[in-house]
Every structure is written in structure tokens, then in C-alpha cells.
Structure 1
């Protein structure tokens, strides 16, 4: 048995609106500040379509036909996208970045990427806008919804169904709102199936109640315009930080009204050929638009696309979507098509699996692997970054009161630096750091990414007794980011004042030069024959000057700047060796060489009385 429901041109046009607002939002958030609600529009439409499929054929419902239909609809085009993205990722991505991709790929294949991305967080992972499978979270939620939804509809007596779905909607919207405002992080609830289920159910309620079926054209026209206005309001005015939850009701109601208003002016507008054509491509457009954006941004290392980037994005996305629709979606939907039978679909998926598996070998053979010390700034298991491991000492461990070093990852990268500096002088340094965080009292922990907040708080607590005992403290950080926050500048000034009053020497190290591009990516893209230009970023110099001005206010504090020294004259290289691991961190070899270079200048700062 083949399950189907009546085709509605206006609903297809509504799909076009949904995918276009998502694409524009992802291309540039300032164009449509709340364009993310396009995904919620899709969820409501899916709830409506799937519920219509089930209740229209309830007396002869076939479980196998339902799930086979969903499989044919989603999996082939999805699998082809995963295979192509795997190949491109294998070519473009650095080995470390490709590991993050493979983990996301595993979750995407098994349709649980919503859970993977809800827990995703790593300082050295690519930015989320560079993750080509981030968008699969919504498809994962949709597939998870399909698993239980037929059970809910078929095993609930019809007379109770409307009431039960209504209660579930209110309860789950309320749960999402409560969760965001209490103990659950925003990413957890944003990617949560439970928070999104009521959006599907809103569409299901429209199908079950058959609202709008008996409306006059006048009523449909009025309701349609209300729905369109409400949807436009949602696209521009909803705050992403407070979404989903109660606010997600607005685009859901808007979508429900537009589906119900099937005979009005708005319905006719949505039914025009151009909207119907884009709506037909909407699934493939959604599949391809985000990987195209992610690859453009990974290659350029910029979020902003520029005019040329936008043009490349649109042309590439629509071309890939049309190819996917024409050669994958259409054949698999057609019951007599090439890929309709399970054996043929299985053969296609086998080819896709082989391509995905082979992508790992491809990634490793693009370029000769670098020695590990050129790809990291220190062995992560041997440094006190985000946690305390042993005594956190570098150099001579018999030194009574070691130099205390603290800061964010720009201090953590100096573990090798202090090995070189203090060992030459028979001294010791205790290095305690945390990602994104300068672990001093008063640091604004809530402004940094969620994944680093707990580590920041623990390192602040761990450092407190060492700060009280220290005679010399070295502070290093990515000043370009830290100095942009007024709360940090206030906390940093208080730290300098309280510390220097206790006759403690404070040495503040300047941020090292920062590039607008990852040198390791330059190396890889050069191997691929791709053109790339590397320039030094300008913001770090301004931030260094701002921090230096603050430090000069306190007697006993000194700002030390090697950023314009001979060591960085040919950065990201020194003596012909790559010394950077990314655009703003030294690698392990670079950190040690930096220490050897700086040791003669640092010795007086650690030994001279003041």
C-alpha cells in the first residue's frame, strides 16, 4: 500500500518561505535576525503532512509503507549529501578538524546529531559556522519524531486525540520555557526533541481538526493575512537567546493559520509557480545550503561572505539542490523509479558508505603529516589547563616560591616557553590556565562559552592560595578578546591594584601577533593548489596598547612586549620552521624557541627587587 495525501501548492510555497528565510539567516544574520524560525515552520508543516497521511488512511494504515515512504523521502538525498560533504571535508580539513567532522558524521548517519551538537564545545574545534553537518540536527529531530508519532495517533481514541495533543502542546511548550529559565543550558534545549515536539503537534492539530476546510474565501483571506503578518513579525523580532519555549508558539501559530487559510489571497500567492518550484527544491536546498556556507567560511576563515561569497553561495546551493532533486529525490519518490526497490536503495547506500569510509584515507594523504609538536602547544595531559594536574610546575621543581603564571590559552601556550626560560636560570614556574578565561577574582565567567565556564571557576578557586603566596606573577592572555570587555578590564585593574599593593611583581606579557588566517590551513590549501593570502590581524596591536596603558598605572607592574621583536619578524615562521599552530597560538616548538629567545630579557624581571 502507498500512503499519500492531497498535494497542496500553497503548502509547497510555504516550504519555499521556510527554506529561504533559513538560508538568508545563515548567510547573514543581520538580513533576517530571526530567520532560524524557518526550521520551526518546517516542523509544523511536517506534523501536518504526516498526520494527514496517517489519519487519511487510518483504516488501512501500513507501518511498512509509512516507514518505507519516510526512508525513500529522506535517506537517499541525505546519504548523497553526506558522501559529497565527506569527500570535500577530507580534502579541505586539517586532520584535527576532520576528526571533529567524523564525530559529527557518525551522529548524522544515526540521526542523533541534535544530541551531539547540544554537547558540542571545544576551544580548538572549528567554529560552529565551519561545521558542515550542523544543520542535520533538525533532520535528526524529524526522524526521531517519526518513530513514535504514528503510535501516538493510531493508539489514541479519535475522540480524545484533539484534547490530548492540545494538552501535550501546552505542557511541552511550558517545559521548554521552564528549562531555558532554570537549570538546562540554551544549547541543550535548542537541540532538544522534547522542545520541538509541540511544533509538530501544532501541525497535527490543524490536520486532525480540519480547521479551515469549511471557511469562506473571505475568512480564509483574513486568516491568511494574519498568519503572514505574524510570520513576518517572527522572522524579524524573536530573540534567539530566548528560543525555543513560549516564543516558538508564534511562528507555529502563524504556520498553522497559513495552512488552514487554503483559499484566500495569501494561499494564491504561495501557490504561484516560483514559490512552488522553490518549495519542491526545499529539502535539497536545506541539505546543501549549510555545507556550502561552512566550506566557504572554512576556506576564507570569515563569517561574513561579501558580495562575491553570497553569489557563489546562492549559485552553488541552487545548482546542487537541483541536481539532488532531479537525480536523487525524484527517482526515489517514484514507485517505478530506479531507486524505488529496497535492493536498489541498499546498493546506493552501500556506495555512499564506501565513499564515506574512504574519505578518512583521503584526508591523510593530502599532505605529509607534521610532527606532533608543530600541531599543538603542549601535551594536553601534561599541563594545568582547565584542571590541576600535579604541581603544575615547569623548570626547577626545588625552587621554594616559583613564578606564578596565569591566563587563558595564550598563557597555556607558554608552558614550553617557561621550560626554556626558567631552566636556564635554575628557577621554576607554576602555570595554571583556563580556556577563554583569565582566572582572577571578579572575572566575568558568564560571558565566556558554556563549555569553558566550569573550568574557569575551578581554576579561579585553585589559583587563590597561590596568588596570596606568590612574589612574582606573570599574566598572559588573548588581549584582543579580553580587553574588549569592560567587566574584564575592571577586574584586571582590581587584580593589579591589590597584587602590587602587597609588593608582588606583576609581569604582563603582550599578546603575540595574530593572523587573519590559520597557517596550517595555508599549508594545506597550498598543497591543493588553492590561492590564499595571509595578513596579520590588526586588533591585537590595539589591544596590547590598551592593556599596556592600564599596567603603567600600577607601580610594581610591567608590560613586556616581544611582539615586534626579531623572533616574530618572519612569523608564522622562525628560522625556517613553522612556529604557529593556528592563527594566534604558538605550537610546542615555537613556544620553546620563544622562551630561548626571551630568556635574557625575562631574567631581570624575575630576579630584580622592586
Structure 2
């Protein structure tokens, strides 16, 4: 029932159902019952064998699903999603998918695949798998007590109450402060496991006090009508959880108590003895069939849905196509259950010896790792990564900035190359260019090795919007024998004499201290900040407060400043938008119509930082570099110019475009402003 709800809510409603929480709750319920029965009967816990038995059953169907998803992604999904799918394939097979998603949430450079990833749903299986490893260890703590013939339920209840309270507190706090991370956090979900375990420990007492009976006992339970009503109340609460309450942004905090309480009500109700009881419905053949395929159904429904939505271009499935997705998922789940899950689960040969089960687990992971890794290696062998820019044969500016009406044979970078489009320099900072101390979130890099000699230094400071111009500096630096040092800090512009966020606090002083200590010849930073615009011919590009005193501080230190105008920002991922048009057989001109905008919507009519030219010393030591005419030629900001995608996401230029288009104008403007770089 819970996993069926997950599929239905995903396909038609796009909301959180609470089904996954029930899934974790019941997993703990069954696990705890298994180990407590072993303790009560004096049998060995056999934790290692339990691990092998569990993952031997779980991993083969998961591996088959992941392999099918990799094949489907290659056939149906845009290439920009391929690296994400490869990463998540291995992470899912290793039961660390939730940790990967947490990392991607906080990684500035990660592409936002969001719900588009066909393997994202493996996060809950990862939480379950991690709990399956840790939870049995709790029962080892009471083995000696069980051997002495003493009850283990009370100490286990006390331990689980402590774990559950700590996890629930953590869940509530992190859900309020960082819900997107908390959603995938195992620690924020352990209280749901604790709740399922507590019910398993308490249920025998509850059953005794309420006169519960099993159907096979042939006796009617006490409180039959009450049990039937309680069961239906639980089902109603579970069904209503995601419909009546929009709990998407509230999970996994205290609100998850609702689906857990609903599931607990159904379990406590148990056998009602009434024909109209919910237990009668859940015992029918159709319900049992869904139960049999529920694991495989959870595995396959999300990849099928994601691929269908990508191919159809829809945000959500309609009634008929949603039914087709559900029917296809049920059929595929039945096939995987019959062909993989059931044979592995029932195999006496695999269970006979631990090493055979271990081989099944290892083989499942190896198949996924080899498939994902082989795909990645094959792509990169066919398409070597772009080398660091230097003096090279570049296309003419006219050819590189036209919007073609017919798609070129190849538009670069390919989607799977986007991870290499960030303009990293090849060396870690060292030698005479090493900073006196590290600063958080500043990954200091340099162009030349630590033992190289150079006639001067260019330091890049500010946010990633300053960093993106590094490839355009390299030919100029090479020609004049200059070192380039990347001192940028993602999401922090270089401003002074203003209040900074806690994240950026101290960065301005860190830059000025570096300049004082190393006396670079040139410092590059952005001096304006663009906005999304209003779409009506008005741009909100401005010079940020604190930019003028920051530039003044550099000029006062006899440093030459390259003040670059910011690049356009967008509401949508420009690469993904243009890629979708091209993959449907469209031309760059079609991508421009679908994704582009007039320059007037993105850039101010004149450079908002023009007033910096009036600062003392600016006449000789300030170059205001405006690349608007190259990025938005002929008054139009297009996602594809020439044979290059302009953007890698919603606001950063691709390295390919910078190297093919911006090298020439940057070199010309710097040569004109600073014919001799050294002071």
C-alpha cells in the first residue's frame, strides 16, 4: 500500500505521500521482530549472515534496474544528464545515494538535475540499507542479558527511545534550517526506524491486552468493530497525508509522525474478524500481488516516469499516459520479480554457503560499476577534454558569434563534458605565489608550476563570474610571461567597506592581504552584477555597493585593475534549454527563439561601472572590459553562438565559448590598456 502510494503520487500528483516513511517504519518493524525472536529463543543473532541474506536479496533486482536505467538514459535522456546518472548508478549500488544527493545539494559546481534524475529515488533504499547495517548491532548489546534468561525488551525500548528522540530532534532542527539536505539525511530518518522497532517490541503486550488473534487461530479477536474502524482510520490518514496536507517542504520533521501513526494503526488493528475490515482488503489476491512486486515496483516506476516526461516534454503525466506509465511499471516490476527477485530469494544454493551470497552481492555491484565506468571511459576516449587555452588557431569572431539557421555537425561542449567546463588552472598555489594562509572556500590555483619563473602575476578575485574569464586571460599571460593566480571565491564578489554575509566575511581583507604580500601586476574582478531582468526591455544590472572602494583600494596599492562587466543571468538552465531544442532536431536559431533574450533585458544600456574611471589613478591603472557585444552580439543574447554553447548552466559561460570567442576581445582590450604589463 505504501509503495503503491509512492508510485501514484509521483506519477500524477508530484507530491510527497508519506509512503517512503511507512516503508522505513515497516522495515524496522520486521527487522526488530526477527532479532527479538532470536534473542527470546536463545538462537545466535547471526548478524553477518543476516547482512548477506538481506543484501543478496536486495541487490540483484536493484542492479538490473540500474543497468536498464543506464541503457534507457543513453537512449532517451539528454547527454547533460548522463554524468549524473553514472554517478548515481554507482552510488545507488553502494547504498550511498542519499549521501551523494546531500553532497550535490551543497556543491556549488554541481548541475541541478533535481527531480530529473532517473535514479534519485534510490536515496530511500540507501537509507534503508545503511540502517540494515547499523540496526542489528543494537541487538548485540543485549545478547548477554538474553543468555542469562532475562527480558531484553525493556533495555531495547529505553535505547530506542533515546535514539529516536535524538534523531527526531535533529530531524526537526535540520528540516527547519536546511530541509533539502535533511530530506536525504540518514540521521534525520533514524527516528522512523526507531518508531518501527518500538512498535515491534510493544506489539505483543498490546495484542495481549486487547485480545488480538491471528486468522489461523480460528478464534475471533476482541474489539472486532473497533479494530476494523482503527484499520480504516489508518488507511484514510495515510491516503490523506499528501492530499490534504502539502507536506513536501515539511518532511522529514515532526509531520512524518502522521504516516507512521497511520501505518501503526493498521498494524495494531491486525486481524479484525470483520468482512469489511481493512485486513480483509489487504489480504485479497490483488493486494497480495502488489505486495509481491512492491519492491520491484518502487525500483522501476521512477525511471520509467522520468524518461517518459523527458521524451514527452511534460512536467507531469496526464490521466491516460500516467496509466500507461503505471501499467508499464507494473509489468516491468512483475518481470523483474519473476526473473530476478524470486529466484534469488528462493535459491537454496545461494543460501547454502555465505561466500555464494557474498558473490551475488559483489557481482551485482561490479556489474553496475563496470557499466557506468565503461560508459564514462568510452565517452572520454571518444571526446578528449579541452586543453588549457593558449595561443591557438581560433575561429573568426564573425563565424563564432553567428546564430546559425541550420545545426552545425557538432556543437560543443557535449552535455557530458560540462563538468570539465569550469575554468580550473592546472597547479595548486605554491612557490612565491602561495598565500600566507588558507581561506575557507578559496581553492587557490595557478597556471605555472611553483618552480617556474614569471615576469609578473595576474590575480583573479571575486566570485565565479570573475573566475569564468580565466581562459581568456591565458594567451595574454603567455605572451607576456605572466603567472595567473585564481583566488576567486564562489558566490562572493570582491567588495569592501560594506557589511558581508557570514559566508563572505573576511574575504575582502584576505584579498587585500594577498595583494600587499605579493604585489601582483594585474588584478581581475567583476565590477557589475546582472539580474534576471523583467523581460520588458529593462535590465537591473548595477554596480554593487562596495565595488568602488574595493577598486580604489587596489589602485592605491599601485595595482593595475581589470574591471570586467558581468555576464547575463537567466531563470532557466540555458544549456539544458538549448540542448533540448537541438536534440529534437532544431537549429541554433530555434534555440535562440526558445531560450534567448534581447540584450536590453539582460544588460544595462551603458556600463554601470563607468564611474570607476574617475577614481584616482584609474587613467593609467584601470581597464574596464566590456564583453557584452561578444556575448550578446547584435543586441541578442543567444544560448548557442557559432558552434559553441554559450552557457553551462543558468549564469556561467562555458569554457569552450570563452576560449573560442572571448580570447580575442580580452587580449585586444588588455593590450590597448596595458601595452606593457609590468609597472
Shared fold by TM > 0.5? Answer: yes
Contact kept, 8 Å, 2:595 with 2:639, in 1: the verdict is no
Residue 461 of structure 2 contacts residue 486 of structure 2 at CA under 8 Å; is this kept in 1? yes
Residue 372, structure 1, aligned to residue 386, structure 2: yes
Q: Does 1:42 align with 2:23?
A: yes
Pair 1:508-2:565 in alignment: yes
Compute the displacement of 1:321 (Å).
1.4
- Which runs of 5 or more residues in structure 1 are unaligned? 1-15, 447-453
**Does residue 474 of the first structure (1) align with residue 529 of the second (2)?**
no
Give 3-state SS (helix, strand or coil) of 1:78's partner: helix
Structure 1 position 415, deviation (Å): 1.0
Classify 1:579/1:232 alpha carbon distance in 2 versus 1 (closer, same or farther; 3 Å). closer
CA contact (8 A) 1:403 1:430 kept: yes
Q: Residue 565 of structure 2: SS of its match in structure 1?
A: strand
Give how far 1:288 is off: 1.8
- Per mean C-alpha deviation after superposition, the further-off stretch among 213-222 and 418-427 is 418-427
Give the Cα–Cα distance (whole angstroms) in 1 for the partners of residues 156 and 542 of structure 2.
Answer: 53
- Quote the residue 2:558 is aligned against: none
- Aligned: 1:387 with 2:442: yes
Tell whether the 8 Å contact from 1:76 to 1:328 is kept in structure 2 after alignment. yes
Match for residue 123 of structure 2? 137
Q: Quote the residue 2:92 is aligned against.
A: 108
8 Å CA contact retained: 2:350, 2:357 = yes
1:62-461 pair list within 5 angstroms: 63=45, 66-67=50-51, 69-88=53-72, 104-120=88-104, 121-122=106-107, 123-125=109-111, 127-150=113-136, 152-153=138-139, 155=143, 159-162=151-154, 164-165=156-157, 168-169=160-161, 171-178=163-170, 181=173, 189-210=182-203, 211=206, 213=212, 215-232=222-239, 234-236=241-243, 237=245, 239-262=247-270, 263=272, 265-271=277-283, 273-293=285-305, 295=307, 304-305=315-316, 307=318, 313-334=325-346, 352=364, 353-354=366-367, 356-365=369-378, 368-373=382-387, 375=417, 376-381=421-426, 386-387=441-442, 389=444, 406-408=462-464, 410-419=465-474, 432-438=487-493, 440=495, 459=507
Cα distance change on mapping 1:219 and 1:22 into 2, 3 Å? same
1:565 and 2:565 equivalent? no
Q: Distance in 2 between matches of 1:483 and 1:84?
A: 43
Q: What's the CA shift string for 1:158-189, capped at 9, x where partnerless? A: 74515642552354333442476379965665
CA distance change for structure 1 residues 301 and 434 in 2, over 3 Å: closer, same or farther?
farther
Give the drift of 1:46.
Answer: 1.4
Aligned match of 1:449: none
> Quick check: 1:582 aligned with 2:648?
yes
Q: How many residues align?
A: 564
Q: Structure 2: how far apart are the matches of 1:594 and 1:492?
A: 25
Structure 1 SS opposite 2:604: helix
1:41 Cα shift? 0.5
In the alignment, is the contact (CA less than 8 A) between 1:90 and 1:360 conserved in 2?
Answer: no
| Structure index of larger Rg | 2
For each residue in 1:480-528, what CA deviation from the matched residue of structure 2 results, as whole angstroms up to 9, or x when unmatched? 4x999xxxx89964346767999999652332898754599789x97xx
Asked if structure 1 preserves the Cα contact closer than 8 Å seen for 2:459 and 2:524, the reply is yes
2:158 and 2:169 mapped to 1: Cα distance?
17
Seen in structure 2, the aligned counterparts of structure 1 residues 531 and 391 have a Cα distance that, compared at 3 Å, is closer
User: d(CA) in 1 for partners of 2:137 and 2:456?
Assistant: 69
TM-score w.r.t. structure 1 length? 0.71
The structure whose residues are more often helix, as a share, is 1
* Partner residue in 2 for 1:8: none
State the Cα distance separating 1:283 from its structure 2 match. Answer: 0.6
State the Cα RMSD in Å: 5.3
Say whether the 8 Å CA contact 1:114–1:192 is kept in structure 2.
yes
